[in-house]
Structure 1
Amino acid sequence: MQVTIHAAKTNLSKLIDAALSGEEVVIAKGRKPVVKIVPITQSSFKIGLLKGQITGDGPDFFEPMNEGEIATWEGSE
C-alpha cells in the first residue's frame, strides 16, 4: 500500500496496524516513495537465561587490586 504524507498523518494508527499485520506500507511525497513503515521485531528478555550454564567463580569486585593490576589500570606498566 502506498499513501501520501497527508493520508499518513490522518491514518497513522491504521497504517501501523497494517504494517504489523505484514502489509508493506510506503509513504510518498507526491508520487515519489520516500519512507516505509516496518514493524520492529520484538524480542523477549528473560532474566536468568544463562543460569546454570556459567561455571567457575567470577571476579570479586570488592577485593582490592594488587600492585600489578593497579599499575596496569593507571597505565604505568
Structure 2
Amino acid sequence: MPLKVNIHEAKTQFSRLLARVESGEEIIIAKAGRPIARLVPIIERPKGRTPGSAEGKIIISPDFDAPLPESILKAFEQ
C-alpha cells in the first residue's frame, strides 16, 4: 500500500519523499484526506527502434492475404 501524506507534510518533507520514490515507492499526496496526486518513479523507456533492423529475419508468405479456407470461415459463423 502506498504511503499517503497530506500537502503540508509533502511540502516540508519533499526531499525525503523523493528519496523514497527514487527507491521504488509510490507516494499519494492528499488534500483534506482526499488523494489528489501520486508520486511515482520514472521508468526508463527502452531505446528507440531502428527501422529496418529486422530485415531478412521475417518472412511473409506471398499468399498471406489470401481468403481463408471454407472450413475456417464456417467456424467463425457458429
RMSD across aligned C-alpha pairs, in angstroms? Answer: 2.5
What's the secondary structure of 2:16's corresponding residue? helix
For 1:16, which of 15, 18, 26 is the aligned residue?
18
Q: TM-score, normalised by structure 1?
A: 0.53
Counterpart for residue 40 of structure 1:
42
Number of residue equivalences: 53
Percent identity between the two aligned chains: 40
The list of structure 1 runs, each at least 4 consecutive aligned residues, that deviate by more than 4 angstroms after superposition, is: none
- How many angstroms apart in 2 are the aligned matches of 1:30 and 1:18? 23
Residue 31 in structure 1 maps to residue 29 in structure 2: no
- How many angstroms apart in 2 are the aligned matches of 1:28 and 1:16? 16
Counterpart for residue 66 of structure 1:
none
Unmatched 5+ stretches in structure 1: 54-77
Counterpart for residue 60 of structure 2:
none
Whether the 8 Å CA contact 2:21–2:27 is kept in 1: the answer is yes
Unmatched 5+ stretches in structure 2: 54-78
- How many angstroms apart in 1 are the aligned matches of 2:22 and 2:35? 20
How much has 1:43 moved relative to structure 2? 4.9
1:42 maps to amino acid:
E
- How many angstroms apart in 2 are the aligned matches of 1:15 and 1:34? 16
